[in-house]
Homo-oligomer: A and B are copies of this chain.
Amino acid sequence: MDREDHHLLAGRPRRFSELQVPLGSVTPKVLTESLRAMCRDGLVTRTAYDEIPPRVEYELTPLGRSLLEPMAAGCAWNREHLAELLAARTASAR
């Protein structure tokens, strides 16, 4: 899951809902935990604005941004080869 929400943050800071909607299948609990872990690892910052209604935004740090390229390589491999891997897995299960 970290991979997809990472890409969502590539463009600009995002609110929780702006991450949650595109990641439809991800529960709020998992998204919260992932964002918390990414903040803990210095990949993302969480900024709470003292406004009414309260606003919280998540943004990639330089360290987080440096991860975009290797993750893109992994995602590209995935798009190109995942079907082949899953077919091998199915064949070996027979």
Which A residues are closer than 8 A to B by beta carbons? 39-43, 63, 66-67, 69-70, 73-74, 76-77, 80-81, 84-85, 87-89, 91-93
* Residue contacts A-B, CB under 8 angstroms, 29 given: A39-B92, A40-B88, A40-B92, A40-B93, A41-B85, A41-B88, A41-B92, A42-B84, A42-B85, A42-B87, A42-B88, A42-B89, A42-B92, A43-B85, A43-B88, A63-B81, A63-B85, A63-B88, A66-B77, A66-B80, A66-B81, A67-B77, A67-B81, A69-B73, A70-B70, A70-B73, A70-B74, A73-B73, A74-B74
Number of copies of this chain in the oligomer?
A: 2
Beyond A40-B88, A69-B73, A73-B74, 12 additional contacts (C-beta under 8 Å) are A40-B93, A41-B89, A41-B92, A42-B84, A42-B89, A42-B92, A63-B81, A63-B85, A66-B80, A66-B81, A67-B77, A70-B73
